Amino acid sequence: MRQFIKHRGIAAPLLEPNIDTDIIIPSREMKRVSKEGLGEGAFANRRYTLPGGRDPNPDFVLNQAAYKDASIILAGANFGCGSSREHAVWALTDLGIRAVIAPGFGHIFYNNCFSSGLLPLILGAAEIAEIAAATESDPQRRQVEIDLENCEVAVGDKRFSFTIEAANRDMLLNGLDRIGQTLLLADEITAFESADRARRGWAYID
Amino acid sequence: MTRSLFDKLWQSHLVQSLDSERDLLYVDRIFLHERTGSIALKSLAATGRPVQRPQQAFCTMDHIVDTFPGRGDSTIMPSGSEFITATRDACRDAGIHLFDLGDSKQGIAHVVAAEQGICLPGLSQVCPDSHTCTLGGIGALAWGIGSTDAEHALATKTLAVKKPRSMRVIFDGVTAPGVTAKDMILHLIGKYGADGGAGYAIEFAGSGIAALDIEARMTLCNMGVEFSAFTVFIAVDERTIEYAKSRPLAPKGAALAAAIADWQQLHSEPDAQFDKTLTIDCRDIRPTVTWGTNPRQSLATGERIPYPQSLPEEQQAAAIKALSYMDLQAGTPIGEVTIDAAFIGSCTNARLSDLRAAAAILKGRKVATGVAAVAVPASGQVKLAAEAEGLHTIFEAAGFEWREPGCSMCFYAGGETFGEGKRVISSTNRNFEGRQGPKVKTHIASPETVAASAIAGRIISANDLAELT
């Protein structure tokens, strides 16, 4: 999995609350039995003028020259709520997004991020507004720097500390594969299963 | 002992604590569907890791399949058949039982899981679909995951999960006639917000819950994710046991007796502690419908659409945006809002009891002129049972289409929509922008309210319809 250690990039504001995974990628954009190439469908209902079309909507933040090549999204509360579709994460990473900074996330989306090297970073709404204010005069030059080792976000001379679960941070810093990590515990899982069968035999289908 | 239901469900699946935040939980059942299951199985096969215990994994066709009578593998959605055939192949290769098209047991994952007894009280179940929490209605620990976590569960029989905090929501007292489980959950979300349950595993309890039948409990739990809960569940009682023990895959004989003994423990002890407790007075709940684009934005039928400035400040910007998307004027009585279409379907509200309730309202009446109306039973078993009672003839005589089971127009994945910009009253779970198709305006309500509104051509409750006629 792709590592995340430090990242400096252009931050685009999408500050309304409850940006759900249907907005991040509408169902009809999930066209193939694949995790690849979904960036084109990211935010399709807002990014393009017509449903299913590809003409850019100039009002959408990521279509504006000031936010060209943005790799960080500054978001509102409950970002990624709704459907469990992991395509939302795959669409964002394919679009070049490395981190989303929000006051809170839908829990399935949050968890999905770590499987694809996308950093879901939690800061208070006021701090996110400060970052947005600090970048808006010239987003291309006033870039945001995220340091996951030190759990710090910097823009200009402002610094913000954040917290993240140690295991999730490790996963991103080291680019770990979660399944491989768990398979190291195969003996413990088998032992649990044997003991559990004695307690809850009815729960098993043979 | 002071253990809560949550403690019991969690501890019985705890393989080991991984660190101060995460536990490794044993997963009893994995359910897949053709939209993300095929990707998970294909991706897992590419790594060379086998599916462990494939006999405890199941798959259905629900998200993308067409629901038209006489359907096959081809779909309205371009490339939909690719998902269908890839799923069929992947399930065969992995040895996973598939509820395929043409199987009378095919249907929406969470509905089939309960109906067949794949999921039972006290089991842990995951599915790459956010509405997996539906199964909390029978006292299971069930939650939605992404595709990569589905691969994880298939390959390891476990998931590493951050332990949520615990909440109990007490629904106290008896609801008024015409108030359903759907209204109860919309009321809760309306009061505490679409992220009111974020970070929590929530037990729904109280006399208002005890009074609900099992299907209504599943409706209530279904929308736990719309409250942003990790998951939700309800203690097992005699109704749960009656329901579970007669399922096709329920344990038999001595195993059933052992299971029932375990199920009878699935409740919170009287002095169990919770990180948070909310109480809803059921007498405050009225038939409820959404007016906006997130499930908090709701009102009781008969009320007026709120002025954004009358709402708490942090909700005002979202309300203005929602009114614009929904093409509604603040101050308009919701009862004057006319609809283009009515939809009864989904894992929320398309079980037999839902279809019976809607049919009772539709019987002898006609859908208003110009309103398109579609009913999609949640599973083949629901459809057969409904047809055995003649419900399909009531729906069809009223002007509803009667379809084959699947998720259908709950969302746009199958590529079907009532049409760009249409206004739909819907028994589904999400009123998000574009959820039911481009620019479609979705109003979520109970099947009873959907049926009554279909007849009236505007948004009214069944109680209101009864007064009119």
Q: Name the pLDDT band for B173 (thresholds 50, 70, 90).
A: very high
**A51 close contact with B: CB closer than 8 A:** yes
pLDDT of residue B397: 98
pLDDT at B405 over 70: yes
Q: What percent of chain A has pLDDT over 70?
A: 100
Compute the distance between CA of residue B221 and CA of residue B232 in angstroms, rounded to an integer. 6
Q: Left if phi > 0, otherwise alpha if psi is -120 to 50, otherwise beta: which for A117?
A: left
Tally Cβ neighbours within 10 Å of residue B111.
28
Which helix H or strand E contains B411, and what residues bound it? none
**A64 close contact with B: CB closer than 8 A:** no
Buried b (16+ CB within 10 A) or exposed e, B161-177: bbbbebbbbbbebebee
Return all residues near A22 (Cβ < 8 A) that are at least 6 apart. Answer: A82, A83, B411, B430, B432, B433, B434, B435
| Average pLDDT over every residue of B355-379 | 98
Hey, which bits of B92-211 come out as E strands? 97-99, 124-127, 141-144, 158-162, 165-172, 200-205
| Chain-chain contact of B49 with A32 (C-beta, under 8 angstroms) | no
Compute the distance between CA of residue B275 and CA of residue B141 in angstroms, rounded to an integer. 18
Rounded to a whole number, what is the distance in Å from the CA of A54 to chain B's nearest CA?
Answer: 14
pLDDT at A1 over 90: no
Taking each helix axis from N to C terminus, what angle separates B391-398 and B380-388, rounded to the nearest 10 degrees?
90
Which helix H or strand E contains B398, and what residues bound it? helix B391-398
Looking at chain B, which residue has its C-alpha nearest residue A113?
Answer: B146
Q: Name the pLDDT band for B373 (thresholds 50, 70, 90).
A: very high
Compute the distance between CA of residue B113 and CA of residue B319 in angstroms, rounded to an integer. 37
| Average pLDDT over every residue of A11-20 | 96
| Chain-chain contact of B438 with A52 (C-beta, under 8 angstroms) | yes
| Chain-chain contact of B145 with A193 (C-beta, under 8 angstroms) | no
Chain B contact probe: residue of A33, A188, A204 with most B CBs at under 10 A: A33
Rounded to a whole number, what is the distance in Å from the CA of A116 to chain B's nearest CA?
Answer: 9
pLDDT at B1 over 70: no
How big is chain B by its Cα radius of gyration, in Å? Answer: 21
Compute the distance between CA of residue B382 and CA of residue A183 in angstroms, rounded to an integer. 40
| Average pLDDT over every residue of B440-468 | 97
Return all residues near A84 (Cβ < 8 A) that are at least 6 apart. Answer: A21, A108, A112, B36, B128, B129, B130, B144, B145, B146
Yes or no: say if B147 and A86 are a contact pair by the CB < 8 Å rule: yes
**A86 close contact with B: CB closer than 8 A:** yes
pLDDT of residue B469: 74
Residues of B in Cβ contact (< 8 Å) with A78: 194-195, 198, 228
Looking at chain B, which residue has its C-alpha nearest residue A84?
Answer: B130
Compute the distance between CA of residue B125 and CA of residue B110 in angstroms, rounded to an integer. 10
Q: What percent of chain A has pLDDT over 90?
A: 93
Task: Dihedral sign for Cα B261, B131, A30, A62, please.
Answer: negative
> Among B215, B160, B159, which Cα is nearest to B28's?
B159
pLDDT at A24 over 80: yes
Return all residues near B154 (Cβ < 8 A) that are at least 6 apart. Answer: B30, B40, B41, B44, B51, B52, B57, B94
> Among B410, B408, B413, which Cα is nearest to B424's?
B410
Kindly report the backbone phi and psi dihedral angles of residue A166, in degrees, each rounded to the nearest multiple of 5, phi listed first. -60, -40
Q: How is residue A130 written in tokens?
A: 């400060």
Local structure of A8: helix, strand or coil = strand
Instruction: Nearest by CB to B152, from A84, A104, A182: name it.
Output: A182
Instruction: Nearest by CB to B415, from A20, A28, A181: name it.
Output: A28
> Among B434, B421, B445, B420, which Cα is nearest to B344's?
B445
| Average pLDDT over every residue of B393-407 | 98
Q: Name the pLDDT band for A32 (thresholds 50, 70, 90).
A: confident
| Chain-chain contact of B228 with A201 (C-beta, under 8 angstroms) | no
Q: Name the pLDDT band for B59 (thresholds 50, 70, 90).
A: very high
Rounded to a whole number, what is the distance in Å from the CA of A114 to chain B's nearest CA?
Answer: 10
pLDDT of residue B415: 85
**B19 close contact with A: CB closer than 8 A:** yes
Rounded to a whole number, what is the distance in Å from the CA of B207 to chain A's nearest CA?
Answer: 29
Q: Whole-number mean pLDDT of chain B?
A: 97
> Among A57, A119, A106, which Cα is nearest to A78's?
A106
> Among B370, B362, B364, which Cα is nearest to B339's?
B370
pLDDT tens digits, one per residue of B43-52 = 999 999 999 9
| Chain-chain contact of B412 with A27 (C-beta, under 8 angstroms) | yes
Question: Which B positions 349-408 lie with beta carbon below 8 A of chain A?
Answer: none
Q: How is residue B364 written in tokens?
A: 């002898």
Yes or no: say if B144 and B131 are a contact pair by the CB < 8 Å rule: yes
- The number of angstroms, rounded, from the C-alpha of A69 to the middle of its chain's C-alpha atoms is 16
| Chain-chain contact of A18 with B195 (C-beta, under 8 angstroms) | yes
> Among B356, B403, B355, B405, which Cα is nearest to B380's?
B405
pLDDT at B257 over 80: yes
pLDDT tens digits, one per residue of B308-318 = 999 999 999 99
pLDDT tens digits, one per residue of A56-107 = 999 999 999 999 999 999 999 999 999 999 999 999 999 999 999 999 999 9
Return all residues near B50 (Cβ < 8 A) that are at least 6 apart. Answer: B155
| Chain-chain contact of A167 with B160 (C-beta, under 8 angstroms) | yes
Return all residues near B369 (Cβ < 8 A) that are at least 6 apart. Answer: B457
Compute the distance between CA of residue B33 and CA of residue B177 in angstroms, rounded to an integer. 37
> Among B341, B345, B451, B342, which Cα is nearest to B405's?
B345
| Chain-chain contact of A165 with B148 (C-beta, under 8 angstroms) | no
pLDDT of residue B75: 94
DSSP letters for A83-116:
---THHHHHHHHTT--EEEES-B-HHHHHHHTTT
pLDDT tens digits, one per residue of A161-197 = 999 999 999 999 999 999 999 999 999 999 999 999 9
Which helix H or strand E contains B456, and what residues bound it? helix B447-456
| Chain-chain contact of A179 with B146 (C-beta, under 8 angstroms) | no
- Of B63-72, B94-103, B407-416, the one with minimum mean pLDDT is B407-416
> Among B432, B396, B428, B423, which Cα is nearest to B409's?
B428
**A198 close contact with B: CB closer than 8 A:** no
Q: Name the pLDDT band for B78 (thresholds 50, 70, 90).
A: confident
Instruction: Nearest by CB to B258, from A77, A185, A202: name it.
Output: A202
| Interface predicted TM-score (ipTM) of this complex, two decimals | 0.94
Name the H helices within A83-201.
Answer: 87-94, 107-113, 125-135, 166-174, 178-183, 186-199
DSSP code at position B51: P
Return all residues near B454 (Cβ < 8 A) that are at least 6 apart. Answer: B339, B342, B362, B367, B368, B371, B373, B398, B399, B400, B425
